[in-house]
Amino acid sequence: MSPRRTVRVDLGDRSYPIVLGHETLADVGGAVAERTGASQAVLVSVPGVNRLYGATAARSLREAGLRVLRLEVPDGDATKNLRQVAKLYDALVEKGADRSAVVVSLGGGMVSDLAGFVAATYLRGIQFVTVPTTILAMVDAGVGGKVGVNLKQGKNLVGAFHQPRLVWVDTATLASLPRRDRAAGLAEVVKAGAIWDASFFDRLERAGEKLLEADPDLLIPVLARACQIKAEVVSRDERESGLRMILNFGHTLGHAVEALHRYRGILHGEAVAIGMVFAARRSEALGLAPEGTAERIEDLLRRLELPTERPDFARGAYLSALKVDKKKKDAHVRFVVLREIGRAETCPLTPAEILPAGRRSRAARGGRS
């Protein structure tokens, strides 16, 4: 029997558990009923995930005594928008969903952001539970309470903080997740170790490529620790003022890389992997981190089949992409640097300081130097 783990996210009266297990989807209903006391569950998913897991989740919710309304939204980040939100509101009103309803999202970060935003705003907020089915959603989107949608002007520009009542992780769902998505999610796991826990990072190095295989005995403790790290950081800084910024490690350049690709052809975790190696190299170059720090991160990410070299866009293009970083403060960006593996801090730098002139990407120079 695979291990079950519960990670408590400690936020006073809005605390909630993340329950991790294997082949546990059929038990989700009881947990939802117990945590929420809801009489109706609005199960929101995307077609591919719904086809694989929707029936099991819905049956479990029904067996726990909830009325179940199943809603589907089209897949893809392009549909994480206000039009879909409005459609979901319409369905909720039409089916008479009231304050006793709980929104349950089943899928990756896209659907949990969208469904969570609906839960945060419908009737000024109803209860929310997530059942993440990607590694990224398990360790990142599911923890922290940020929900929201994209505008045509940019990603995640509208949103709210709305904590779930429960996060229910069944690692058996990862069997169907494409390997590339698994790797991308693991980038955020590596990030957790790099910024917060050196011995966890060691453990990831020992496991290496085995992490890609979705073996529950290996993965459950690893995902649990990654959730716990994010939970620890978030509960010390729920509204993202200071400490929480370190979760952006690898994201400043990562967001620029995603934007330069127009969000096509590169996954978030892949861009973050590139960004982490870049940030670790900058940390070394600034004399903040010991030599060899970046190399360890790079080696681990490569074993996880993730890209590590900055794509060769013009420096000017990078600088303007870095400027639109919405986390920017004045001209400075709070760039996250490492002091060593397991310890991060922010450093105010202008885009030009982040990416000094005369540094071409290694990719453009023809590989490793």
Ligand X SMILES: NC(=O)c1ccc[n+]([C@@H]2O[C@H](COP(=O)([O-])OP(=O)(O)OC[C@H]3O[C@@H](n4cnc5c(N)ncnc54)[C@H](O)[C@@H]3O)[C@@H](O)[C@H]2O)c1
Question: Is residue 144 near ligand X by the rule CB under 6 A?
Answer: yes
Half-sphere exposure at residue 71, Cβ-oriented, CA atoms within 13 angstroms: 28
Answer yes or no: 230 catalytic. Answer: yes
Query: Applying CB under 6 A, does 48 fall inside the site for ligand X?
Result: yes
SS3 128: strand
Active site residue 150: no
Rounded to the nearest whole angstrom, what is the least distance from the CB of residue 57 to ligand X in the complex?
12
Task: Considering the complex, state which of residue 164 and residue 193 has its C-beta at the smaller distance from ligand X.
Answer: 164
Is 208 in a helix, a strand, or coil? Answer: helix
Residue with tokens 């392009």: 78
Catalytic residue among 244, 315, 323, 359: 244
DSSP annotation of 328 reads: -
Q: Which stretch binds ligand X (CB under 6 A): 54-62, 72-80, 254-262, 330-338?
A: 72-80
Residue among 162, 182, 268, 310 flagged as catalytic: 268
Residue window 307-326: x/- pattern of binding to ligand X, with contact defined by CB under 6 A: --------------------
Judged by CB under 6 A, does residue 80 bind ligand X?
yes
Q: Is 131 helix (H, G, I), strand (E, B) or coil?
A: strand
Q: Which of 140, 197, 258, 298 binds ligand X (CB under 6 A)?
A: 140
- The answer to whether residue 73 forms part of the interface with ligand X (CB under 6 A) is no
Let me know if 188 is a catalytic residue: yes
Question: How many residues sit in the footprint of ligand X (CB under 6 A)?
Answer: 27
Question: CA distances (Å), 193 to each of 167, 189, 366, in order?
Answer: 21, 7, 30
User: What is the amino acid identity at position 60?
Assistant: S
According to CB under 6 A, which one of 28, 33, 46, 322 is a site residue for ligand X? Answer: 46
233 scored as a contact of ligand X (CB under 6 A): no
**Residue whose tokens read 């006073």:** 12
Q: Which stretch binds ligand X (CB under 6 A): 131-139, 206-214, 219-227, 294-302?
A: 131-139
Of the residues 230, 303, 310, 334, which is catalytic?
A: 230
- CA dist list (Å): 25 to 28, 131, 162, 169: 5, 9, 23, 8
258 touches ligand X (CB under 6 A): no
Q: List Cα–Cα distances, 121 to 128, 159, 223, 341, in angstroms.
A: 11, 9, 29, 39
Which residues have a Cβ under 8 Å from the Cβ of 176 and sit 6 or more positions away? Answer: 52
The whole-angstrom separation of Cα 282 and Cα 288 is: 9
Asked if residue 138 binds ligand X (CB under 6 A), the reply is no
Backbone φ, ψ for residue 9 (5° rounding): -95, 115
CB of 271 to ligand X, least distance (A): 11
| 75 makes contact with ligand X (CB under 6 A) | yes
Contact 160, 120 (CB under 8 A): yes
Which of residues 126, 136, 256, 322 is near ligand X by CB under 6 A? Answer: 136
Q: Would you call 124 a catalytic residue per the annotation?
A: yes
CB of 339 closer than 8 Å to CB of 264: no
Return the residue of 21, 88, 104, 113 that touches ligand X, per CB under 6 A. Answer: 113
DSSP state of 326: T
Chain positions contacting ligand X, by CB under 6 A: 46, 48-49, 75, 77, 80, 107-111, 113, 133-134, 136-137, 140-141, 144, 146, 156, 173-174, 176-177, 181, 268
- Write out the catalytic residue numbers: 124, 146, 188, 230, 240, 244, 248, 251, 255, 268
